[in-house]
Structure 1
Amino acid sequence: MTSGDDIANLARQSLGVQYVWGGNSLSSGVDCSGLVQQVYAHFGIQLPRVTYNQIQVGASVQPDKLRPGDLVFFDTDSSKNGPDHVGIYLGGGKFIHAPRPGEGVKISSLSDSYYMNRWMGGRRISGVSATPDPAALAGDAAPRLDSHELAETYGMSYSFFKSQPELKKLLDGAVAGQWTPDKFQAEIKNSNWWKKNSDTVRQMQVLQKTDPATYKAQMEAASVAAKQMAAKSGAILSDKNVQQLAKNMVWYGWGDEQVSNFLGQYVKFGANQTLGGMAGQAAQAIKNEAYKNGVAVTEQSVLNNAQYLVRGLTSMEKIQSNLREQSAGLYPAFAEQIKAGASIQDLAQPYVQVVAQELGLPETDVNAYSAKVKQALTRTNAQGQPEAMNLDAFTQLIRNDPAWRKQTSTADKTMNIGRQVLQQMGLAT
């Protein structure tokens, strides 16, 4: 474990070293994040090179809990989001940093209004012991950070208040009037910000500003989960869609139903007009059910139903029931059996067997969609009532087909050839 005092003391040895953009040398030149990275590297602690990534390392530390060796971050460029400046806390409200071109490494005060108003957060790096602030041990109070301390007392951070003009105005009033926490909380709950945002949204807005590393980790985890759920459902999401879904899950507390409804909107055909995941399984089940019931379905109809299934707007039972209703309408002579659960393919099986036997075809090549079979199944009697053709009449219908006569002629020729062969062998007369 490295002592925070040792880190602070090593950093002091670089006082006066000139600022160099992208510099990594504690003797010839460093920038702010280079100073931090090289000081920590001396103790075998590897940190990212740039400020934005450094703030994502370690644990969050509030201003009144800072100890020597902790990192302090600031937002000095309003044109960019996030921290762009970093220093090493020395204790007593002081920190060391490489401020800007033309200046050397120097020590500044956190109570300086410039840095107070640009504060982003503190981080304690793993492997560094949190040595008590020497000023606190000596009984000397560190410079008071009124706005920061009050913000923390109210359960938020100064950087968050700064990001919300309405709340920053309230905080300024609280500092000026030294409001009690109860009074300030009451004012916060009466603000437009509180009224228009849900509890989860407020929590994430605070976390985003007070602990960006944790916020980023939560968003990344939600993005991974969003991609996994999209793949499982068969939804095809762009990177933008993934981020939107992740934010909805984290910020708005979306549950399974809301996520499914979102994903269903992005179920679409991929390569070769195929669907993946749950949607693909649903599409295959719909096609199979339609085939069993003798109902023709378009690819668009299959896609629409798969989307509705993923979104939770329908169920496979409802789709099956709808297909049976359509089948009963197409084959009215069998309506009762179909509604009772029989499939038209099963009901057509006797007719399929007649066609296969009479025409010498594999049964797998004949089904309820075959023209002659469908004709028999959808027949009406002389009174115009639905009445399937009986098998005797159907057999005669098939034998009237030119294909049957051709099949019979072929069979006769085969028998004649066989008889001739037997005669030549003396086995037939």
Structure 2
Amino acid sequence: MARGEDIASLARQYLGSQYVWGGESPGGFDCSGLVAYVYGKHGIQLPRTTYNQIMVGASVSPDKLRPGDLVFFDTDRTKKGPDHVGIYLGGGKFIHASNPGQGVKISSLADSYYMDRWMGGRRVPGVSASPDPNALTGEAAPQLDAHELAETYGMSYAFFKSQPELFKMLKSAVSGQWTPDKFQAEIKNSSWWKKNSETVRQAQVLQKTDPATYKAQMEAARVAARKLAVQAGAMLSDKAVEKLAKGMVWFGWQDAQIQNYVGQYIKFQDHEVLGGMAGQVAQAIKNEAYKNGVAVTKQSVLNNAQYVVRGLTTMEKIQASLREQSAGLYPAFAEQIKAGADIQDLAQPYIQTVATELGVPETDVSVFSPKVKAALNRANAQGQPEAMNLNDFTQLVRNDPAWRKTQSAQDKTMAVGRQVLADMGLVH
């Protein structure tokens, strides 16, 4: 375990070293190069860049900093994220490779330039240090009170800077020396507090107070969003993934809200098929429609698959709707269909007759076959729905020109011929 005081002491030895972009040795350092070099001398390997170094360790508030901790700043407002890092020395001071004109130097956190650009502190694993006995005293005390007061509500100075209403309140709290209780009461009475939900407030605070953790949470949400999309059979653009991830992190979306959002992006893939859960639902809808003798369009299947995934309907409701349509399409069998029978099963004798008489596979015949469908939808002399009897249906099938070409027709013709000859006494 390296002592933070020893890390700070070693860093001081390079005071005055020149600044070199990309430098990571005593011959010249840039800010992250100095940090990586000093820590490396104590057996701790850190990422090379500032942007990655802020991902290491645990967040530390300004009033809890100890020698050896890392301090991060956003000095380039044209880019998001940390771009400058230093090593905290204690007493509100930190050492850093500043710029080509100044090299490695010591600066104060109380400097308004650095206060305005503060992004966070990090404590690196494997480093121990005693609490800074000079924290919030001497030179740093007047300005660090703002940091300290912000931390009493689990926030950071950087967060307050991002919220004009709250930053104005923070300055009033510092000048008026408000108690933490009064400060917290005023925050809860602010427009920011009232117009944002708890999850939104937490996300906004985390984004500024602990950007590394916020970044990790958002990336985890993006990964989860893409996985959920695949499972649902949805195709999400990067923009849609980002919106879903923000919904999960900022607004605390629950499963129903996530499914409703993802379901909107279910679309046909190659060869007009659906993937994931949507694909399973689509196949179930097609099977159910087939059993009930109901024709469904591709768009209808897509829409209903979306609705199921989004939680706007269920397969049970779709099945009930298809059964109701089936009863309307085949009124002669309405009561049986309502009792739970499938029209495909009810039509089986007619299907078998067509298959047998015309010599075709039974799988090629269904309730959708014109002859079968017509036979099921006939009306009797009184105009009431009544299916054709099988004897009449068999004769109807035999009237099809295709029947004369079948072996069954030829056998029957030969049988009739023999009978005629027998009746004439010409054959026995």
> TM-score band, normalised by the shorter chain?
over 0.9
The Cα offsets for residues 318-371 of structure 1, whole Å up to 9 and x where unpaired, read as 101111111111111111111111111000001111112222222222111111
Aligned 8 A contact 1:4 1:69 in 2: yes
Name the counterpart of 1:324: 323
What is the CA-CA distance between 1:384 and the residue it aligns to?
2.5
The Cα offsets for residues 156-205 of structure 1, whole Å up to 9 and x where unpaired, read as 21111011111111101111111112222222122221111111100111
Identity fraction in percent: 75
1:84 aligns with 2:76: no
Aligned 8 A contact 1:56 1:214 in 2: yes
Name the counterpart of 1:421: none
**Structure 2 residue runs without a partner (length 5+):** 416-427
1:7 aligns with 2:4: no
Counterpart secondary structure, 2:239: helix
Change (3 A) 1:8 1:359: same
Name the counterpart of 2:421: none
Name the counterpart of 2:202: 203
The Cα offsets for residues 66-124 of structure 1, whole Å up to 9 and x where unpaired, read as 11111011122223222221100111221110111211201112222222222211101
Counterpart secondary structure, 1:304: helix
Name the counterpart of 1:314: 313
Counterpart secondary structure, 2:87: strand
Once residues 113 and 361 of structure 2 are traced to their aligned partners in structure 1, the CA distance between those partners, rounded to angstroms, is: 88
Aligned 8 A contact 1:230 1:263 in 2: yes
Aligned-partner residue type, residue 393 of structure 2: F
- Structure 2 length as normaliser, TM-score? 0.92
Task: Name the count of aligned residue pairs.
Answer: 415
Counterparts of 1:99-118 in structure 2, within 5 Å, are 99-118=98-117
Aligned-partner residue type, residue 157 of structure 1: S
Name the counterpart of 2:50: 51
Once residues 356 and 112 of structure 1 are traced to their aligned partners in structure 2, the CA distance between those partners, rounded to angstroms, is: 92
Name the counterpart of 1:251: 250
Which shifted more, 201-210 or 184-193? 184-193
Once residues 156 and 206 of structure 1 are traced to their aligned partners in structure 2, the CA distance between those partners, rounded to angstroms, is: 6
Aligned 8 A contact 2:119 2:211 in 1: no
Name the counterpart of 2:422: none
Once residues 328 and 137 of structure 2 are traced to their aligned partners in structure 1, the CA distance between those partners, rounded to angstroms, is: 91
Once residues 133 and 180 of structure 1 are traced to their aligned partners in structure 2, the CA distance between those partners, rounded to angstroms, is: 23
**Structure 1 residue runs without a partner (length 5+):** 416-428
Name the counterpart of 2:297: 298
Once residues 362 and 349 of structure 2 are traced to their aligned partners in structure 1, the CA distance between those partners, rounded to angstroms, is: 11
Once residues 69 and 342 of structure 2 are traced to their aligned partners in structure 1, the CA distance between those partners, rounded to angstroms, is: 73
1:16 aligns with 2:13: no
Aligned 8 A contact 1:92 1:143 in 2: yes
Name the counterpart of 1:143: 140
What is the CA-CA distance between 1:143 and the residue it aligns to?
2.9
Name the counterpart of 1:423: none
The Cα offsets for residues 46-74 of structure 1, whole Å up to 9 and x where unpaired, read as 22222122111111111121111110111
Counterpart secondary structure, 2:140: coil
Aligned-partner residue type, residue 203 of structure 1: Q
Aligned 8 A contact 1:67 1:91 in 2: yes
Aligned 8 A contact 1:75 1:82 in 2: yes
What is the CA-CA distance between 1:142 and the residue it aligns to?
7.2
**Root-mean-square deviation (Å):** 2.1
The Cα offsets for residues 15-71 of structure 1, whole Å up to 9 and x where unpaired, read as 11111122222x221111111111112222222222122111111111121111110
